[in-house]
Amino acid sequence: METVLQQVQGFMYPNEIELQWSILIVLYPFITGLVAGAFILASLEKVFRVEAVKPTYRLALLTALAFLLVAPLPLQLHLGHPERSLEMYLTPHTSSAMAMFGFVYLWYLMAVLVLEIWLDYREEIVLRARSSKGVLRLLYRVMSLGVDTISSRSREIDEKLARLITIIGVPSAFLLHGYVGFIFGSVKANPWWSTPLMPIVFLFSAMVSGIALVMLMYMVVSWWRRTGIDMRCLDTIARYLFYAFIIDFSLELLDLVHRIYEADESFKSLDFMVHTRLFTSQIVIQIVLGTLLPLGLLLLTQVARLSERTRKTVYGTAGVLTMVGIFAMRWNVVIGGQLFSKSFLGYTVYKLDFATREGLLPAIALMVLPFVILAVLVRLLPPWEAAAVPPPARSKVEG
Amino acid sequence: MRQIFKDTEHLLRMAGLFALGVVGFVVLRAVFVPAGFGELGHFRTGALEDNREHPLVYAGRDACANCHDDVVAVRKGGAHAGIGCEACHGALAAHAGDPETVKTGRPDPRGTCLVCHRSNVAKPSSFPQVEPSEHGEGQACTSCHRAHNPKVQ
Amino acid sequence: MPTTRRELLQKGSALLLVSGAAAAALDAVLAGTPEKAEGYRLDEHWWAMIIDIGACIGCGNCVRACKIENDVPREPYYFRTWVERYHVPPGELEHPLVDSPNGGYDGFEDRATVPAGSKSFFVPKLCNHCAHSPCVQVCPVGATFESPDGVVLVDATYCLGCRYCVQACPYGCRYIDPRTGTVNKCTLCYHRITRGLTTACCETCPTGARQLGDLKNPADPIHEFLRTHTVHVLKPQMATGSKVYYAALDGSVR
């Protein structure tokens, strides 16, 4: 902490010198954002009948689940008393966005995601329960709730119900990540956070990151399994990524222009912070590398005729840059919001340790964990067996 | 009828699980929510007592006056009359609680005074301040000023 | 301070009686009936504080007394109260030079360079015990709350250490105690004011720049003070219902 104190510039209220929320709290909106985005992509097929993305439907749902299961972990690691976290469910303070988010999370996990996956997979689960042995058989039997019926009528009912759940699920996904935005956006004490735009910006950047993630996963998984990529699917996903990105970019630009124009009491201080302490993470990584560049690449694929191979390279690059950019956006919101003093007269630094409870190492581990869980889920509930057969390869772009 | 039940049995079981979850939640609440929660507001009433339980470290000037009424008499009418004893003498609840056993030393007769009276441009100009290097030649302030009633003797 | 043995016995037994009464009162408090403690009734008080900028000399007594009374960690990152020093260059209301070395714990050395013609003063800060507290609003579990007598307190056995309240406080008065992992802040010396004493900071302030006030007590000097002085609260645009009233607060104060 002494090094932090030495690097304080200007004046900060003494209690502000140490940052309260660390990289773990950056991870948390990033992860829930991926969940919301992946789910919205999946719902494109079910609700909006965008047939083209069907090959990624189940993969997107499983990805969402894997990440949603990990989402509470950075919070637990961050709490001073994680053993008391049940209090949020037992005595939730209804005026607290954080408390009410606990219920939004629970609703989304149980009533939307788990139910939808279960209903979509139920037939396979029952079939596998019948054909497996030993522990796996027990597992599948538990997952089927001990019910062996997969008559066509029961499957019809499942389909209808799944569709209903997805319809409810779309606003629920919006609520899931919009709420996280509200947790920041409703803090009037912090002008970097306090704006009604925050939930919407969070939501659209979540969609961007989630769609990018599923797109990348689809490409990686297809390469790994040595199956062909359905280019119609991939092109469609990339197109939706592009649309979502345009909206996200416009919203963030609106926020920026609004701030510069109104130039309220916090502006000079924030502006200085962006040009100094936050320059690399905001200007270089988030804006240039993480937004303008992938937007430009995606725009290229929309207006130019590119070969399949080129498109894949561009999509992959854009996807990775997008993920980095959205992570940087979360970083800039959370960390940036704490680097400046609420007196608007000074700045502190964020010291990221490596192998401590809130250090880089646990952060990396928490980002790897969802993929481990996903690997297990994919093993148990393969997302591609019942997926649509890829249409005959069309190597030219459809323009 | 039977067929409908068979076709929806899995949904009914799932609904049952959810219901179980709700019941479990209610039970957890009954067991784990601390006693006295919510009586006066969204908090545990016992927290008021917890905040009150803290031991006193400063006694307060009235406690000093109980025994040291002679000093009170000296201070009366002087410039320091309104200052709490512990402002210069430090925290004395331990002494007030057990005056015979717990003694305390005297304040530094120059350093203590300079804490307030060392000149600083940010102090109100009406407040008596001195530049230590130009006042008192490094002697104890009490050589000229009585600490309890600081008119120069 | 010589005392005769008789005086000693008199004082000593008086003290014993008082301590006995205090002990009995404490028992009543511990038994969960706070109303009985020395007759302290929650609904009879509405605590506030007056800070007179014109009287503050930046001695730091309050900062030290608070840390001693409330066992606050001595490192320079944890303060329940602190003092800021302002130098406002002429015509530069929006660009004051502010510092608070170790929160004012060790007093203030003269600043190396002060722009000529600056207006200079000290500003003690603490929890404002807001009536519409944003920190209470965001606590997810009810670990921080406003008591019925107007003091914003923390339930240390219930706090999760999520730090949301620290983010929500516009005044920067909260911190996480590294020893307990829970949040901590000025309690208005609740353990003192409910026993008829004043806060540690007010007790040791030599100039009366800090004074505790009870807005529900018609005889309390705070009413006269508020009537006869121009008072401000910090960050009034946040509408927090702050109950720390500053007299002679300059417009440059953040």
Q: Residue A389: is its pLDDT beyond 60?
A: no
The beta-carbon neighbor of C203 closest among B48, B53, B60 is: B60
User: Strands of C81-88's sheet, edge to edge?
Assistant: C97-99, C81-88, C119-126
Whole-number mean pLDDT of chain A?
Answer: 92
pLDDT of residue C60: 96
Residues 82-141 of B with CB under 8 A from C: 82-84, 86-87, 91, 96-97, 99, 115-116, 118, 120-124, 127
Whole-number mean pLDDT of chain C?
Answer: 89
pLDDT of residue C5: 66
DSSP structural state of residue C80: S
A90 with B3: Cβ contact below 8 A? no
Please give the average per-residue pLDDT across C1-28, as a whole number: 52
| Token pair belonging to A45 | 């097929």
- Choose the mutation target among C62, C74, C84, C254 for the interface with A, i.e. most A CBs under 10 Å: C254
C198 with B34: Cβ contact below 8 A? no
Q: Do A47 and A201 meet the contact criterion of CB atoms below 8 Å apart?
A: no
C168 with A13: Cβ contact below 8 A? no
| Token pair belonging to B104 | 């305390």
Looking at the complex, does the CB of residue A225 fall below 8 Å from at least one CB of chain B? no
Name every chain C residue with its beta carbon within 8 A of the beta carbon of B124: 54-57, 121
Q: Residue C96: is its pLDDT beyond 50?
A: yes
Please give the average per-residue pLDDT across B40-56, as a whole number: 95
Amino acid occupying residue B83: I
Tell me whether residue A327 is exposed, middle or buried, using C-beta atoms within 10 angstroms of its C-beta: 0 to 12, 13 to 18, 19 or more: buried
Please give the average per-residue pLDDT across A343-363, as a whole number: 94
Q: pLDDT confidence of A392, banded at 50, 70, 90?
A: very low
Q: pLDDT confidence of A82, banded at 50, 70, 90?
A: very high
User: Across-strand partners of C50?
Assistant: C211, C245
Q: Residue A218: is its pLDDT beyond 50?
A: yes
Please give the average per-residue pLDDT across A289-307, as a whole number: 95
3-state secondary structure of B57: coil
| CB environment A6-44: b (16+ within 10 A), e (fewer) | eebbbbbbbbbbbbbbbbbbbbbbbbbbbbbbbbbbbbb
DSSP structural state of residue B54: P
Q: Do C127 and C158 meet the contact criterion of CB atoms below 8 Å apart?
A: no
Looking at the complex, does the CB of residue B127 fall below 8 Å from at least one CB of chain A? no
pLDDT of residue B5: 81
The beta-carbon neighbor of C54 closest among B42, B45, B124 is: B124
Q: Do A388 and A55 meet the contact criterion of CB atoms below 8 Å apart?
A: yes
Residues 132-151 of B with CB under 8 A from C: none
Q: Do C51 and C59 meet the contact criterion of CB atoms below 8 Å apart?
A: no
pLDDT of residue B54: 93
pLDDT of residue C4: 64
Name every chain C residue with its beta carbon within 8 A of the beta carbon of B133: none
Phi, psi values for residue A212, rounded to 5°: -60, -40
The beta-carbon neighbor of C1 closest among B44, B68, B87 is: B68
Q: Do C184 and C154 meet the contact criterion of CB atoms below 8 Å apart?
A: yes
pLDDT of residue C153: 98
Name every chain A residue with its beta carbon within 8 A of the beta carbon of B21: 110
Whole-number mean pLDDT of chain B?
Answer: 91
| CA–CA dist A320, A213 (Å, integer) | 8
A80 with C100: Cβ contact below 8 A? no
Name every chain B residue with its beta carbon within 8 A of the beta carbon of C157: 44, 47, 50
Residues 324-363 of A with CB under 8 A from B: none
Sign of CA dihedral B9, B14, B20, B23: negative
Closest chain C CA to residue B41? C145
Percent of chain C whose pLDDT exceeds 70: 85
Q: pLDDT confidence of A150, banded at 50, 70, 90?
A: confident
Q: Residue A342: is its pLDDT beyond 60?
A: yes
| CA–CA dist A276, A271 (Å, integer) | 9
Residue B16, min C-alpha distance to chain C (Å): 29
pLDDT of residue A385: 61
Residues of A with CB under 8 A from a CB of C: 1, 5, 11-18, 20-21, 75, 78-82, 84-85, 87-88, 91-93, 95-99, 102, 183, 186-190, 337-338, 341-345
C191 with B52: Cβ contact below 8 A? yes
| Token pair belonging to A269 | 């201080």
Closest chain C CA to residue A194? C168
Q: Residue C108: is its pLDDT beyond 70?
A: yes
Given the DSSP bridges, would you call strands A346-347 and A9-10 parallel, antiparallel or unpaired?
antiparallel
Q: Residue C100: is its pLDDT beyond 50?
A: yes
| CA–CA dist A209, A319 (Å, integer) | 8
Q: Residue A399: is its pLDDT beyond 70?
A: no
Give the dihedral of Cα atoms C217, C219, C223, C225; nearest 10 deg: -130
Which position has the higher pLDDT, B104 or A222?
Answer: A222
Closest chain A CA to residue C101? A14
Tell me whether residue C3 is exposed, middle or buried, using C-beta atoms within 10 angstroms of its C-beta: 0 to 12, 13 to 18, 19 or more: middle
Range list of H helices, chain B: 2-32, 46-52, 61-67, 69-75, 86-89, 93-97, 111-117
Name every chain C residue with its beta carbon within 8 A of the beta carbon of B97: 15, 19
Looking at the complex, does the CB of residue B41 fall below 8 Å from at least one CB of chain A? no
pLDDT of residue C34: 41
A161 with B17: Cβ contact below 8 A? no
| Token pair belonging to B115 | 């804490």
Predicted structure pTM score: 0.89
| pLDDT tens readout for residues A89-148 | 999 999 999 999 999 999 999 999 999 999 999 999 999 999 999 999 999 999 999 988
3-state secondary structure of B152: strand
- Choose the mutation target among B7, B25, B43 for the interface with A, i.e. most A CBs under 10 Å: B7
Q: Worst-scoring range by mean pLDDT, A169-178, C207-216, C244-253?
A: A169-178
Q: What is each CA distance from B30 to A91, B14, B57, C126, in whole angstroms?
A: 11, 25, 39, 38
pLDDT of residue C23: 47
Please give the average per-residue pLDDT across C37-55, as a whole number: 91
How many residues make up chain A in this entry?
Answer: 399
Sign of CA dihedral C124, C125, C128, C129: negative
Give the dihedral of Cα atoms C26, C29, C34, C35; nearest 10 deg: -50
Name every chain B residue with its beta carbon within 8 A of the beta carbon of C203: 58, 60-61, 84, 86-87
Give 3-state DSSP helix, strand, coil % of chain C, rounded to 5: 30, 20, 50
Q: pLDDT confidence of A202, banded at 50, 70, 90?
A: very high
Q: pLDDT confidence of A393, banded at 50, 70, 90?
A: very low
Looking at the complex, does the CB of residue A258 fall below 8 Å from at least one CB of chain B? no
Q: Worst-scoring range by mean pLDDT, A11-20, A151-160, C219-228?
A: A151-160
Which position has the higher pLDDT, B126 or C17?
Answer: B126
Please give the average per-residue pLDDT across A230-235, as a whole number: 92
Tell me whether residue A307 is exposed, middle or buried, using C-beta atoms within 10 angstroms of its C-beta: 0 to 12, 13 to 18, 19 or more: exposed
How many residues make up chain B in this entry?
Answer: 153
Sign of CA dihedral A171, A175, A176, A181: positive
| CA–CA dist C167, C138 (Å, integer) | 9
Q: How many CB pairs under 8 A join A and C?
A: 131
Region for A344 from its dihedrals, namely left if φ exceeds 0, alpha if ψ lies in -120 to 50, beta otherwise: left
| pLDDT tens readout for residues C157-178 | 999 999 999 999 999 999 999 9
3-state secondary structure of C6: helix
pLDDT of residue A391: 41
Residue B20, min C-alpha distance to chain C (Å): 24
Residue B13, min C-alpha distance to chain C (Å): 33
Q: How many CB pairs under 8 A join A and B?
A: 43
| CA–CA dist A174, A164 (Å, integer) | 16
| Token pair belonging to C140 | 């997810």
Closest CA to C163 of A32, A21, A387: A21
Q: pLDDT confidence of A51, banded at 50, 70, 90?
A: confident
The beta-carbon neighbor of B7 closest among A89, A146, A149 is: A149
Q: Worst-scoring range by mean pLDDT, A18-32, A238-252, C25-39, C202-216?
A: C25-39
Q: pLDDT confidence of A45, banded at 50, 70, 90?
A: confident
Q: Do B114 and B132 meet the contact criterion of CB atoms below 8 Å apart?
A: yes
pLDDT of residue C33: 38
pLDDT of residue C25: 43
Using H for helix, E for strand and C for coil, what is the string for chain A? CHHHHHCCEECCCHHHCCCCCCHHHHHHHHHHHHHHHHHHHHHHHHCCCCHHHHHHHHHHHHHHHHHHHHCHHHHHHHCCCHHHCCHHHHCCCCCCHHHHHHHHHHHHHHHHHHHHHHHHHHHHHHHHHHHCCHHHHHHHHHHCCCCCCCCHHHHHHHHHHHHHHHHHHHHHHHHHHHHHHHHHHCCCCCCCCCCCCHHHHHHHHHHHHHHHHHHHHHHHHHHHHCCCCCHHHHHHHHHHHHHHHHHHHHHHHHHHHHHHHHCCCCHHHHHHHHHCCCHHHHHHHHHHHHHHHHHHHHHHHHHCCCCHHHHHHHHHHHHHHHHHHHHHHHHHHHCHHHHECCCCCEECCCCCCCCCCCCHHHHHHHHHHHHHHHHHHHHHCCCCCCCCCCCCCCCCCCC
Q: Do A70 and A30 meet the contact criterion of CB atoms below 8 Å apart?
A: no
Residue C200, min C-alpha distance to chain B (Å): 7
Closest chain A CA to residue B25? A90
3-state secondary structure of B20: helix
3-state secondary structure of C235: coil
pLDDT of residue C38: 66
pLDDT of residue C43: 94
Residue B70, min C-alpha distance to chain C (Å): 7
| Token pair belonging to A191 | 């002008």
Q: Do A329 and A184 meet the contact criterion of CB atoms below 8 Å apart?
A: no
Please give the average per-residue pLDDT across A14-35, as a whole number: 96
B124 with C205: Cβ contact below 8 A? no
Percent of chain B whose pLDDT exceeds 90: 75
pLDDT of residue A49: 81
| pLDDT tens readout for residues C17-27 | 544 444 444 44
Q: Which helix (H) or strand (E) holds C9?
A: helix C5-30
